[in-house]
A = this chain, B = another copy of it.
C-alpha cells in the first residue's frame, strides 16, 4: 500500500503510486487517489501537533493545580506560537505545491482562486 512503502520525501512518488494501481481506492482520500504534498511530512507534523496537544493538556493541569495566572499565560503563548509555526510550515508547502500546481496548469482562474484562498488563510491567521 502506498503509505506503507513510500519512504521517499517527494510527493511525486506517492502520486505516481496512487495513480498507478487499483489497490489505492481504499487508501485515497481525494477520490482521484491523490495525497497532499505534506503526506511525506506527516510524521513530523503529527509529532509537532502531539507536542502542542501535550502543552494544552499541561495548561489544564496548571489550572487544576492553581498555578499563577501569568505562568499559564506564558504557556498559552507558547502553544499559540507552536500552532503558528505549524501553520507557517503548512502555508509554505501549500504555496510550493498546491498553488504552484495551479499556477503552472495554465488555468488562470484556478491559479487566481488558489492565491486568493491562500491570502484569505493568512488573513485568518493574522486575525488570531
Contacts and interface: CB of A to CB of B under 8 A. Distances in A.
Interface of A: 3, 8-9, 29-30, 34-39, 42, 45-46, 49-50, 52-53, 56-57, 59-60, 63-70, 72-74, 76-77, 79-81, 83-84, 86-88, 90-96, 98-100, 103-104, 108, 111-112, 115-119, 121-128
Contact of A121 (B39, B70, B108): B70
A59 B46 CA distance: 9
A117 B70 contact: yes
- Tell me the dominant secondary structure on chain A's binding face: helix
A118 B95 contact: yes
Contacts of A94: 69-70, 73
Given A76-B83, A126-B125, A108 B42 contact: no
